[in-house]
Chain A
Amino acid sequence: MEEKKVKRMEAQNIELSYGDDPVIQDLSLNICSGSFIGLIGPNGAGKTTLLLALSGQFRPQKGHVLFNSYDIYHKNLEFKKHIGYVHEYPFFYQHMRVEEYLHFIARIKDVEKHAIERQISSVLNSVCLEDEKNKQTSNLSAGMRKKLAIAAALLGDPQIIFLDEALNGIDFESAFQIKKVLTELIAQGKTIILSTHVMEVIEKICDRYLVLKQGRIIADIDPEKLKSSDAFKKNPDIEKYIIQLLESQ
């Protein structure tokens, strides 16, 4: 599995700020294909901002973000065709039905016309929304809205999927189904970056944890290596370990 991983994305010394307020400071990062990265950190650590920067939506004041060796801000439109993004509070056009919204996204992402219907059917099945496809988006519950946003992110065969608190508010059955789909995507060589506060989700499915605090990555953890380390064996609780890490910084 290690040999198959190629460097997909690279952030080089990026800095981001809101006005005079620095959010991300001198951050560098390599992301390989087939990775499931969990982004953890306290509120205001810069998780969402980092996701926005890596997904081509929030241009860093300094530094570069490279995808397959090209700068994503120079070929921004091209890059966005190869990613999926789920916002923490997804927006939908209220006059659209579920299926229409997915058609809209598929067309924007230049999905081939003959493949649109198949892909929509597939993503709706993945998130257990096939029964709601004729429902108006304004009539969806909060959990269903999240599922629809995830379905939209899966359209167009994305190489990287960014999930910002995407699994919050989803029922356990659907969450299980979605995690299964995400795991299959990882096996196909896709990359997923998930920002969440729920340690359980990260522990179960992520193969790399990035711990963020005050705009800096304070730890880049390989859970397998961590579990085999002597220090961790004395107190084998990942959540406690990360909290101690955050407090010590």
Chain B
Amino acid sequence: MPFSSDNRKRMYTYTTPVFLKMNALHSVLIATIGICCIISFFNLHERPDPDTFLMVFFKEPFIMTLGLYTTWFISSFRTLPSRREEFRLLNSLPIANKKICDYFIVKDLLQYGWAPGFIIILNLGLLSVSPFSHLIRLSLLTLFIYIIIIIIKICLHIFIAIKRKGFEIYKYPIQNNPIIMALIITGFALTQLACIVNPALSSGTFFVISVMMSGAVCFSLLFLAQKLFDRWKNENLAFRIRTDGSEEMLSSGHTVSNFFQRFPDFNPLLIKNILKIVRGKNRISLLLTVIFILCAYLLSLNNERIEDSIAVLFGILCFYAFLFAYRTINQFTSDHEPPELIYLLPLKKKDIYVFHLLPLWGWFFIVAFLCTMLILVSGSPLSSAGIFLLKSMAAGFIFLQVAFNYTFSAYPDNKKAKKHFIYWCFTMVILSAIFYVSAIAVIVLMFIVSIFPLKKINFYKVS
């Protein structure tokens, strides 16, 4: 029956006038925030002992917070071309500009909501050294600051889009400007730190004033965002964004032809995949990877013995290998490697496989090498550093190879590849934990299992 009670509920969810997805989970969240607000206003005077609080905070929680901000910064670079199409749909419907603006603000708030969520969880982890009501107040302030900075981010993006009217510049709401993101995340981090370092800021009368001011600032910024959005929309700036990066590709045309001319004997697939790393966009990835390595190194230094530092760094590098392998699955999707091209061109299966994998191995080797150099700098013996490099390369090789095997065999269905890769990792971790003594044999066996799907591949016109 099309209009059963389940369907009606779902329809109501999607067709409420504000078209925000309000469901049971959101109601629970809002109720929780409401209860926290009530709790926080009791015992306003309660605050932790500053010295103990700071001593505990400036250990693992601080390092994790830094890692979180880095991850937030990295994740903000994801391009969202579907937002432009979504804007076009909403623009063609009788929806007020104000509502469309509110909608995109809420979308942004939800998209990065995991960041303040994690920070709140980290804060609550300090329960042993702080009264509960103080932590609740800290968490509330975190939430308010988060909402304020996200609206500021949107205002800045729209403002720049209005002011700088060249084709390459305005990418709102598809892409974030790295400088703006760096500024707002730094602002958020500093205000957070200020609240942590000075507990007086989140207690007593100052807390009440902070909440009221935050509310007033939020509303003012919302009003400003709506006005800017109005102007942005009326100047038709949304229709000037190219989502396929065609200008960047055209502007790097000279570089492309030079590479192919310079290395006429190299396989063109290999050159194409190396160029992906050489192009502007991926220089940011390089910078971010270096920042990640440095953070990982700093985290590992939080151990007295060098062997423990190496072990911690190896663990982080394994985690990076997993993330990197997972991300590479996206590099072989039908968006980046369209089937019509792969199936049309006279490409050998072996070439496609090898020349996509080689640059990825190269990248991981550079990361592992940098980590090894940092270990040597911190006084590790050469043999330990050498073993670290070999183990890291082995871990990277396994994760990358398995991810690519599943990607290649499932092409162009990358959802299936991601699913299989996650199952493989999960199974590998459990089995190697159970059969700890023969963990290496288990890993090798699991690796062989991942090769079997490759046998079934048949690209239409490829030998």
Contacts and interface: CB of A to CB of B under 8 A. Distances in A.
Interface residues of B, number: 28
Interface in A72-130: 77-81, 85, 87, 89-91, 93, 96, 99-100, 103-110, 117
Given A19-B167, A100-B10, A133-B2, A87 B94 contact: no
B359 to A, nearest CB: 31
B89 A59 contact: no
Contact of A104 (B15, B165, B166): B15
B89 A77 contact: no
Interface size band for A = 20 to 34
Interface string B7-50: 10011001101010000000000000000000000000000000
B95 interface: yes
A105 B15 CA distance: 8
A226 B147 CA distance: 62
A58 interface: yes
Contact of A91 (B14, B19, B86): B86
B91 A57 contact: yes
B85 A77 contact: no
B92 A80 contact: yes
Contacts of A52: 239
A80 B7 CA distance: 28
A159 interface: no
B236 interface: yes
Contact of B11 (A78, A93, A100): A100
B276 interface: no
A127 B10 CA distance: 24
B241 to A, nearest CB: 10
Contact of B14 (A19, A49, A89, A96): A96
Nearest to A92: B89
B15 A107 contact: yes
A35 interface: no
Contacts of B239: 18, 49, 52, 58
A191 interface: no
Given A81-B94, A90-B89, A110-B94, A103 B11 contact: yes
Nearest to A88: B88
Interface string A21-63: 0000000000000000000000000000100100101110000
